């Protein structure tokens, strides 16, 4: 009998709790959104989107949020709309207990600005996604140009994870080589400060131009990339620092364990 009474009491308590929660949810949904709180996280000093841009975007999309009942606000719809912005990497939309709509956006992090063979301009971010050029902002980044055949395509994903047939084809493209080179340069403080331009020559090979010195650095392909940069750094320290930075026209790193130079 005591067990039956205990179970009954718990059943009444649980039922009461659901009633209270249902009432609270109903009351919450009847609230009007009085505040739209937008926060954008940037992974660099480049600002392709601002809070004002997001507000203008919502207005153009006809997405009214402030002064709208919470029951009429679809967080999933808002997130989907935000992901259509080419500079958005991540978007989270949620409603606070007070009825405020909070939007948290992470902007993509561009690492290289590309000018292809037809002079089309776009960016590549650190995840290997292409970003279209902005009409409002131009990032000061490492530049890649030359005989780059690939054009802007928002569906392109360069950070391949396997060696399937499609990925093997991608890994032979100029734009993939640019991405891997930009990744390496941006992960090293010295080379990030030093390398100014990645040039793809008419044979699909990489040439580099630096902020200091007038040499063309013939890099070749992206194989043994770390070793080539290590050899170049040793040459800088033991060679150019002693004889001067403008003595050579080219520095050739194509050959394994060698740095071959030609004088001006």
pLDDT of residue 185: 96
Residues 131 and 252 placed together within one structural domain of the fold:
yes
| CATH number of the domain enclosing 146 | 3.40.50
Q: Are residues 84 and 132 in the same domain?
A: no
The closest alpha carbon to 115, from 68, 150, 65, 90, belongs to 150
What are 192's strand-pairing partners? Answer: none
Residue given tokens 């620092």 in the structure block: 241
pLDDT at 236: 83
Final residue before a domain boundary, out of 107, 138, 158: 107
Judge if 48 and 97 occupy the same domain: yes
Say what the pLDDT of residue 142 is. Answer: 96
From 262, 165, 181, 166, select the one nearest 220 (Cα to Cα). Answer: 181
pLDDT (0 to 100) of residue 49: 93
Within this chain, do residues 245 and 119 fall inside the same structural domain, yes or no? yes
Residue 235 belongs to some domain of the structure: yes
Q: CATH code at 63?
A: 3.10.20.310
- Residue 26's pLDDT is 45
Domain span including residue 134: 110-263
Q: What is the model's pLDDT at position 19?
A: 38
Residue 193 inside a domain? The answer is: yes
Judge whether 195 lies within some domain: yes
pLDDT score at 16:
46
Q: Is residue 20 part of a domain?
A: no
Q: Is residue 10 part of a domain?
A: no
Confidence (pLDDT) at 98: 78
Residues 149 and 195 in one domain: yes
Residues 65 and 175 in one domain: no
pTM check: above 0.85: no
Q: Summarize pLDDT for 25-42 with one digit per residue, the tens.
A: 444 445 888 888 999 999
For residue 241, what pLDDT is reported? 63
Judgement on whether residues 103 and 140 belong to the same structural domain of the protein: no
pLDDT (0 to 100) of residue 264: 63
Asked if 126 and 189 sit in the same domain, the reply is yes
Pick from 107, 136, 165: which residue ends a domain? 107
Residues 103 and 192 in one domain: no
What whole-number distance in Å separates Cα of residue 35 and Cα of residue 95? Answer: 10
Residue 197 covered by a domain: yes
Q: Is the same domain home to 132 and 61?
A: no
Question: Domain check: are 82 and 122 in the same one?
Answer: no
Q: Which of 75, 107, 139 is the last residue of a domain?
A: 107
DSSP states of the chain as a string? -HHHHHHHHHHHHHHHHHHHHHHHHHHHHTSB---EEEEEE-SSS--S--HHHHHHHHHHHT---TTSBGGG--HHHHHHHHTTSTTEEEEEEEE-TTS-EEEEEEE--EEEEEE-TT--EEEEETTSBEEEPPSS-----EEEEES------TT-B----S--HHHHHHTTSHHHHHHHHHHHHHTSHHHHHHEEEEEE-TTS-EEEEESSSS-EEEEESSTTHHHHHHHHHHHIIIIIHHH-TTSEEEEE--STT--EEEE-
132 in Cβ contact with 152 (< 8 Å): yes
What's the pLDDT score for residue 137? Answer: 86
Q: Note whether residue 114 is domain-resident.
A: yes
- Same-domain pairing of 132 and 58: no
Task: Using 70 as the pLDDT threshold, list the residues of the chain that sit under it.
Answer: 1-30, 161-166, 240-246, 264
Would you say residue 177 lies in a domain? yes
Q: How many domains does the chain have?
A: 2
């Amino acid at each position: 009998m005591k067990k039956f009474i205990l179970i009954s009491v718990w059943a009444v308590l649980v039922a009461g709790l659901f009633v209270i929660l249902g009432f609270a949810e109903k009351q919450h949904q009847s609230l009007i959104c009085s505040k739209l709180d937008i926060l954008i996280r940037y992974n660099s000093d480049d600002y392709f989107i601002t809070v004002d841009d997001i507000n203008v975007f919502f207005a153009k999309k006809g997405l009214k949020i402030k002064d709208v009942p919470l029951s009429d606000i679809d967080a999933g719809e808002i997130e989907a709309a935000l992901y259509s912005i080419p500079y958005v990497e991540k978007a989270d939309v949620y409603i606070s207990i007070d009825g405020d709509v909070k939007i948290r956006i992470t902007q993509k992090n561009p690492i290289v600005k590309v000018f292809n063979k037809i002079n089309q301009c776009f960016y590549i971010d650190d995840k290997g996604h292409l970003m279209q050029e902005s009409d409002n902002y131009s990032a000061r980044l490492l530049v890649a140009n030359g005989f780059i055949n690939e054009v802007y395509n928002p569906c392109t994903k360069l950070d391949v994870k396997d060696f399937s047939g499609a990925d093997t084809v991608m890994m032979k493209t100029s734009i993939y080589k640019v991405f891997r080179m930009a990744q390496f340069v941006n992960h090293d403080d010295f080379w990030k400060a030093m390398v100014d331009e990645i040039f793809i020559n008419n044979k699909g090979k990489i040439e580099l131009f630096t902020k200091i010195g007038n040499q063309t650095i013939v890099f070749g392909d992206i194989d043994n990339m770390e070793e080539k940069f290590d050899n170049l750094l040793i040459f800088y320290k033991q060679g150019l620092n002693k004889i001067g930075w403008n003595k050579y026209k080219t520095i050739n790193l194509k050959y394994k364990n060698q740095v071959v130079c030609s004088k001006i």
